Amino acid sequence: MAPTIVVEKDGLLPSYTSAPRKSLSPLRATIYLALALVCTCSALWSLDLPELLHGGLSESEDVSAADLCPQPSALAPSKHAAFWETLNETYATDDFASRAVEWLGGAIRVPTQSFDKMGPIGTDHRWDAFGPFHDYILSSFPNVHATLALTKVNTYGLIYEWKGSDDSLKPLLLAAHQDVVPVNPDTVDEWTHPPFSGHFDGELLWGRGTSDDKNGLIGILSTVETLIENGFKPTRSVVLAFGFDEETSGLFGAAKLADYLLENFGENAFAMLVDEGGKLPWPLEHPCKVECILGDYMIEHGKAFATPGIAEKGYLDVRVEVESPGGHSSVPPPHTTIGILSALLVHFEANPYTPRLGRGTPIYQKSLCLAAHAPGLPLDLRRALQNAVKSDKALRAAEKLLFQDRMFKSLVGTTQAIDLIQGGVKTNALPESAWAVVNHRIATDSSLDEVKEHDTNLLKDLASEFNLSYTAFGEDITGQDKPAYGKLRLSDAWGAGLTPAPITPTDKDAAPYQLLAGTIRATYNAHRGGDDVVVSPGIMSGNTDTRYYWKLTPHIFRYNHHYTGNSTLFQDIHTVNEFIAVDAYIEMIKFFTILILNADESTSL
């Protein structure tokens, strides 16, 4: 009887058994044993022994932390070294802290709320709130207004130009927005301190705008005011762009500022752009299962990480509209328009987009930085990410582990959320139309066309099942000759679809990223001591004013060095009790100072 290979019931460990009926000659036994060993080795090879021993994740020996997530050295000013040291000493004084608190606190005390569906400037009087804010910054920053050229665009948009001595150098562009999200009147009593009080309790400054985004705007103006007071005159021009409706998509503010900048400076005219950075539009799940990825500058897995946004997801609101004959509700059809729409929406939610962690995407880069530098990262995830550089199997294993966190999974892929629905006008009348809006945030490695195609194909079978003529984004899909019971139409709800932002270069030859990363590390060193902060690419979960600035420079960073530690994780953003630690705010001013000085003396931008 020939020898057999028996696989245990668990399917893992093959074993050799010989025939029991008669003894074998030594030669035949040797041959059989050799055959069995060959078969056994082949079986083990096919089962991937390293995968069995390490859960599919073998230790990578040839991928170093420097390879996974290279870190530039801290970049402190050299030409302006003595000047910076003097300023750093000034920033450490109680007098400057008091001044900084008053600058930002005063700005908070001037409400600048922007609301959805506001009318044009001059017709909607809610815009008038920005006039007093302009008066405030004029009186608070006299040197800025005496030195920089100010242009007002569409009444309330602000462009400041600080002219440098060398016109051959591309300017540095710093951006922020003047507006804040409205305070819900029903929540005023829930605030520890009134939302527009600018109250300082000795450690924290409270009020709407302290974290989003008057801290950035006033931080920039405070920096420039201080530089001028101390005699600094730039070689490289610095331009400041302050919109006033970022919280409502920037149609009146940043969109008009972009037109002005393009007309007066030209395409690709700026060395780099730094705008506000990561913040959360919804609360995080606590504790984060894998990571808390969106903070500008925070503690992740026991290590300080700074995450400048180098991309933004795209955006599309798809209107799903159904029409069918009306009539009296006492004689209903099998499915009303609302019923049909409901079936379509259930089908949407039953078929979500499948996210994939793609190499080269910002979130993939951030994951590699965690694998390289986060001491608290689980070992199996670290090994998977180390091997993911070359192994598709390891990449999928890392993806599976990372996608346990809903926030991380949402950041990677295209998302869908049914946020609006409407249909019917009376209880005894069949609804002639019903519609809903599905909001999509488009993955950085996807596109508007891909999302439109996905949604169009998703509803084809149901359109046929309900006998609906079907048009999607202006194209006739069904092309049927027979009469249809009703109509199904997909469209861009507001005509405001946005493709994912271009990804900012971060390789070793990308001088703007290297300068920014070095500046972040130098700021950490100057303010907190040591050089123990990791700089990693990241993305914004939403869209900032930079959506209008893509033509101005390929080097766009969404970051303002707002340190959050590991406490609030931005849970105060867009809700009650918004605040900022004054120590973090002063560190932000140091960041803008070093950034301006580094850019001024750079020969590689």
Higher pLDDT, 34 or 201: 201
The per-residue pLDDT for range 133-165, each reduced to its tens digit, is 999 999 999 999 999 999 999 999 999 999 999
Per cent of the chain over pLDDT 90 is 77
Q: Which of 283-297, 320-334, 362-376 has the lowest mean pLDDT?
A: 283-297
pLDDT of residue 324: 96
Residue 246 is among the residues annotated as catalytic for this protein: yes
DSSP reduced 3-state for 153: strand
What are the sequence ranges of the domains in the chain?
4-54, 81-311+501-601, 314-492
* pLDDT exceeds cutoff 80 at 297: no
Report which of 579, 527, 560, 586 is spatially closest to residue 204, judged by C-alpha positions.
Answer: 579
> How would you class 325 by CB atoms within 10 Å of its CB: exposed for 0-12, middle for 13-18, buried for 19 or more?
exposed
Asked if residue 347 lies in contact with residue 458, where contact means CB atoms within 8 angstroms, the answer is yes
Maximum mean pLDDT: which of 16-30, 269-283, 548-562 = 548-562
What CA–CA distance (Å, rounded) separates 605 from 599? 8
Among the four given CATH numbers 2.30.30.100, 3.40.1280.10, 3.40.630.10, 3.40.30.10, the one describing domain 81-311+501-601: 3.40.630.10
Set 246, 247, 323, 578: catalytic member: 246
Residue 532 is among the residues annotated as catalytic for this protein: no
Q: With cut-offs at 50, 70 and 90, classify the pLDDT of residue 8.
A: very low
Rounded to the nearest integer, the mean pLDDT of the chain is: 87
Q: Which of 10-24, 72-86, 351-365 has the lowest mean pLDDT?
A: 10-24
Separation of CA 408 from chain center: 11
In 72-129, where does DSSP find H-type helix? Answer: 81-91, 94-108
Task: Spell 120-159 as b/e; 16+ CB within 10 A means b.
Answer: ebeeeeebebbeebbebbeebbeebbebbeeeebbbbbbb
Asked if residue 272 lies in contact with residue 605, where contact means CB atoms within 8 angstroms, the answer is yes
Per cent of the chain over pLDDT 70 is 84
The per-residue pLDDT for range 500-547, each reduced to its tens digit, is 999 999 999 999 999 999 999 999 999 998 778 999 999 987 889 999
pLDDT of residue 65: 83
Asked if residue 560 lies in contact with residue 588, where contact means CB atoms within 8 angstroms, the answer is yes
pLDDT of residue 541: 75
Tokens for 486? 């009703």
Separation of CA 173 from chain center: 20
CATH annotation of 314-492: 3.30.70.360
The per-residue pLDDT for range 419-428, each reduced to its tens digit, is 999 999 999 9
pLDDT of residue 472: 98
Residue 460, Cβ neighbours under 10 Å: how many?
Answer: 14
Report which of 297, 306, 301 is spatially closest to residue 288, judged by C-alpha positions.
Answer: 301
